């Protein structure tokens, strides 16, 4: 029983990582209506920027805020330079664009900061949280920040004009344009916000997994999975999905005899596909009605 609780707690701790990333995934999905495969790399690059600023002697929070601004602007710039000209190209071409972006960012980060792992500080420290050695204060802090982000995002999409306009622009660009929404800039804004949220995720994840150019590879897969399980249109779903994936993965590794440990990821992914088969729009997603 102790092992069970421990694994669940450890799952929540790793789940926080996935949840954080999943929020960024939902953000971009709301803005452009599909996934950005370079999102993890963008977050990694932002985190390196924060690290570099701190190396130059800036205090954590100053570096944090500057990185947020950098990422927001960086996201918009990428959209304007790279994806706006492709607006008329098919979606598959966009995916190729994401892959190109992935390769470029990864390679440049490797050249600038090399591949040795770097320690990234945590504003929350890393002592045991409430006496539990399984969750550190950093992980507790991460969960807390994730929840705040969740509330903010929820409010943004639900109650602000910009948020509603953005959703409209993503899901029904033509109708949105007709009611006077500047869909082009909505998309750019979405990229900026997604990049900024990604940078927060990166800065929260780095103290746990260590900073290096390939740090987001694994995280992004789980982030996608979490977002999809929860429903790509729901920030709440993404966060719940993140924790579910984290916990489930640990339990599979611990309790399925023989192959459980070796096949943790495949089994977790199989479960996700099962969820999707039963609920194609995720646990919290809105059903999409197709029209002829």
Partner 1 sequence: MISTTSLRLAALSTVTLAFAATGGSAFAQKKYDTGVTDTEIKIGNIIPYSGPASAYGIIGKIEEAYFKMINDQGGINGRKINFITYDDAYSPPKAVEQARKLVESDEVLFVFGPLGTPSNTAIQKYMNAKKIPQLFVATGATKFGDYKAFPWTMGWQPAYQSEGRIFAKYALTEKPNGKIGVLYQNDDLGKDLLKGLKDGLGDKASMIIAEESYEVSEPTIENHLVKLKATGADILVSISTPKFAAQAIKKVGELGWKPMFFQSNVGSSVASVMRPAGLENSQGVLSLAYAKDASDAQWDTDDGMKKYLDFVAKYAPTANRADSSAIYGYGQAQTVVQVLKQAGDNLTRENIMKQAASLKDFAPDTMLPGVKINTSATDFYPIEQLRMMRFTGEKWDVFGPPIDSNLGG
Partner 2 sequence: MSTVQEVVTEAPVIEDAIPKKAMALGPVASLVILALLIATPLFVKNFIIFQMTMWLIYAIAVLALNILTGASGQFSLGQSAFYALGAYTSAILMEHGDINYVLTLPVAGLICFIAGFLFGLPALRLSGIYLALATFALATAMPQLLKLGVFEHWTGGVQGLVVTKPDAPAILASLGLKVSQDMWLYYFTLAVSILIYIFSVNLLRSRSGRAMMAIRDNEIAASAMGVDVSLYKTLAFGVSAGITGVAGGLGAIAVQFVAPDGYTIQLAVALFLGMVVGGVGWLPGSLAGAAFIVFVPNIAESVSKGLSGAVFGVILILIIFLVPHGARQIAYGAQGLIGKLRRN
Site residues (vs partner 2, CB under 8 A): 29, 34-35, 82, 85-93, 95-97, 99-104, 106-108, 110-111, 221, 224-225, 228, 232, 258-259, 262-263, 265-266, 269-270, 272-274, 276-277, 280, 290, 292
Q: Which does 55 bind (CB under 5 to 8 A by kind): partner 2, partner 1, none?
A: none
Site string for partner 1, 131-170 (x = CB under 8 A): --xx-x----------------------------------
Options 85, 125, 128, 280; binder of partner 1; rule CB under 8 A: 128
Cβ atoms 238, 19 nearer than 8 A: yes
Least distance between partner 2 and beta carbon 20 (Å): 19
Distance of CA 10 to the CA centre of its chain: 20
Assign 251 to helix, strand or coil: helix
Instruction: Tell whether residue 126 is a contact of partner 1 (CB under 8 A).
Output: yes
Rounded to whole angstroms, how far apart are CA atoms 87 and 99?
A: 16
CB neighbourhood size of 218 (10 A): 13
E-strand stretches of the chain: 128-129, 132-136
Structure-token pair, residue 5: 């609780």
Q: Which does 125 bind (CB under 5 to 8 A by kind): partner 2, partner 1, none?
A: none
Rounded to whole angstroms, how far apart are CA atoms 222 and 224?
A: 5
Summarize the chain as % helix, strand, coil (round to 5). 75, 5, 25
Residues 184 to 213 in contact with partner 1, rule: CB under 8 A: 205, 208-210, 212-213
Q: Which does 126 bind (CB under 5 to 8 A by kind): partner 1, partner 2, none?
A: partner 1
Residues 6 or more apart in contact with residue 85 via CB below 8 angstroms: none
Give, for 54, the enclosing helix (H) or strand (E): helix 39-55
Least distance between partner 2 and beta carbon 176 (Å): 17
Closest to partner 2 by CB, 81 vs 130, is: 81
Cβ atoms 283, 231 nearer than 8 A: yes
Residues 6 to 35 in contact with partner 1, rule: CB under 8 A: 6-7, 10-11, 13-14, 17
Q: Which does 65 bind (CB under 5 to 8 A by kind): partner 1, partner 2, none?
A: none
Instruction: Tell whether residue 108 is a contact of partner 1 (CB under 8 A).
Output: no
Residues 215 to 234 in contact with partner 1, rule: CB under 8 A: 215, 217-219, 221-222
The two beta strands, 132-136 and 128-129, are: antiparallel
For 155-167, give the secondary structure using H, E and C: HHHHHCHHHHHHH
Cβ atoms 252, 198 nearer than 8 A: no
Q: Which does 92 bind (CB under 5 to 8 A by kind): partner 2, partner 1, none?
A: partner 2
Closest to partner 2 by CB, 125 vs 280, is: 280
* Residue 285 backbone class (left: φ over 0; alpha: ψ -120 to 50; beta: rest): beta
Site residues for partner 1 per CB under 8 A: 2-3, 6-7, 10-11, 13-14, 17, 103, 106-107, 110, 114-119, 126, 128, 133-134, 136, 205, 208-210, 212-215, 217-219, 221-222, 249-250, 253-254, 261-262, 264-265
């Amino acid at each position: 029983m102790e092992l069970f609780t421990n694994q669940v707690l450890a799952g929540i701790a790793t789940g926080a990582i996935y949840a954080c990333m999943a929020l960024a995934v939902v953000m971009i999905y709301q803005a452009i209506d599909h996934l950005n495969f370079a999102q993890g790399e963008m977050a990694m690059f932002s985190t390196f920027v924060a690290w570099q600023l701190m190396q130059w002697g800036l205090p954590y929070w100053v570096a944090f805020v500057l990185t947020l601004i950098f990422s927001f602007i960086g996201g918009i710039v990428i959209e304007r330079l790279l994806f706006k000209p492709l607006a008329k190209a098919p979606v598959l071409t966009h995916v190729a664009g994401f892959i190109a972006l992935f390769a470029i960012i990864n390679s440049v980060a490797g050249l600038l900061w090399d591949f040795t792992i770097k320690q990234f500080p945590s504003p929350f420290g890393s002592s045991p949280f409430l006496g539990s050695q399984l969750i550190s204060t950093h992980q507790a802090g991460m969960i807390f920040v994730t929840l705040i982000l969740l509330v903010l995002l929820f409010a943004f999409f639900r109650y602000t004009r910009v948020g509603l306009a953005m959703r409209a622009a993503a899901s029904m660009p033509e109708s949105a344009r007709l009611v006077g929404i500047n869909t082009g800039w909505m998309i750019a804004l979405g990229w900026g916000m997604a990049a900024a949220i990604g940078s927060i995720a990166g800065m929260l994840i780095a103290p746990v997994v260590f900073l290096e150019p390939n740090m987001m590879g694994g995280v992004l897969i789980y982030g996608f999975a979490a977002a999809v399980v929860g429903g790509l249109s729901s920030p709440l779903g993404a966060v719940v999905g993140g924790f579910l994936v984290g916990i489930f993965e640990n339990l599979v590794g611990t309790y399925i005899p023989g192959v459980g440990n070796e096949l943790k990821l495949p089994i977790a992914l199989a479960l996700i596909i099962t969820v999707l088969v039963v609920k194609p729009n995720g646990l919290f997603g809105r059903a999409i009605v197709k029209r002829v």
